[in-house]
Structure 1
């Protein structure tokens, strides 16, 4: 039961966080990126576009949170996409060096959460099978 509550809580929190972060980037553009300074109109446009995509990604997590049982396969795919984002940050670090400290902290979160989601992903499906 604790794994189910953890799964549901984390999936819901992930959804709301991604929607909020995505909309924050859509609304503020370059100003939403710590250390970005005046990156110019092209980067502002790109950031706002990716902010909208990230908000949509968050809506995917919120959709998952409303399913019963929470679909493990979808949770794993969404977690994999998040992990792919962390790998992108690591590639940037390797090519360009250390970013703003906040980006480093985000990378740590992006590396830590996917394994947790993957471990919790089937908690509710397993419980449903055991009851049925």
Structure 2
């Protein structure tokens, strides 16, 4: 498997996963968060709103995957946003302690994937050359 093939597969998977997760949060609200219990209407409203934003984030990944070549700049920005989310989780850990185990797993994924995306970001642009042709 080439780096370009891996990039395309990961970008598309990221897009569909984020879209599904975002819609899941829009539909279920607080019930979509393991260990959250009932956080009340204010947090439920926030969670559903952020779910919609996350679904849009997933659509941005899907858009990137549908370009030829996949734009390295878009991958870098999207990976940076994902990494920022991981840093937010680490801040929460420092302030409030350990969350539900599933959130810890998500944090590990969010810390691991961005460097991989940054490493692969320009793989397809390099593989296709300056004219972007196969």
TM range (shorter): over 0.9
Residues in 1 aligned to 2:96 and 2:38: alpha-carbon distance in whole angstroms:
18
Deviations 1:42-84 (A, max 9, x none): 0000000000000000000000000000000110000000000
SS at match of 1:116: helix
**Runs of 4+ in structure 1 over 2 Å off:** none
Q: Which residue matches 2:120?
A: 120
2:13 and 2:128 map into 1 onto residues whose CA distance is: 23
Instruction: Identify the residue that residue 8 of structure 2 maps to in structure 1.
Output: 8
For residues 85 and 10 of structure 1, what CA distance do their matches in structure 2 show?
18
Q: How does 1:1-132 map to 2 (within 5 A)?
A: 2-129=2-129
For residues 26-56 of structure 1, the C-alpha deviation after alignment (integer angstroms, 9 at most, x for no partner) is: 0000000000001000000000000000000
- Note the residue ranges of structure 1 that are not aligned, 5 or more in a row: none
The aligned length equals: 132
Give 1:130 shift: 6.7
> What is the TM-score with the length of structure 1 in the denominator?
0.97
Query: What TM-score do the two structures reach when normalised by structure 2?
Result: 0.96
